Amino acid sequence: MEVSVVSADEFVSWGCPYCGYAYSAQMLTHEPSGACINHCVNCGEGFIVVPEGMNQAPFSIDGRSFTLMQHPRQGIPHWNLQTEGN
């Protein structure tokens, strides 16, 4: 399973790396780094959001580490049900 890792700034701009939805549920926050595992409330995919300047998730899962990637939806503004309905 591939887990996307995006920066906090890019998440704010482009939303979920899979569908672009603006909102996600924070399942787990890593302290004190602030990195968190998110769960998109639209498509249900999980991904990791890391603070600016961090290029890898500060934790591993099952021995795997997760490296920051370019947001796959760069340039496509996030959306939510409010803006979509207009």
What is the binding site for Zn ion (CB under 5 A)? 16, 18-19, 21, 40, 42-43
Q: Measured from the CB of residue 2, what is the shortest distance to Zn ion in angstroms?
A: 14
**Residue 84 belongs to what H/E stretch?**
helix 81-84
Q: Residue 32 CB, nearest distance to Zn ion (Å)?
A: 27
Closest distance of CB 45 from Zn ion, Å: 5
> 41: left (phi > 0), else alpha (psi -120 to 50), else beta?
alpha
- Closer residue to Zn ion in complex, CB, 22/32: 22
Exposure b/e, 63-75, CB count within 10 A at least 16 = b: eeebebbebebee
Q: Which is nearer to Zn ion, 20 or 66 (CB)?
A: 20
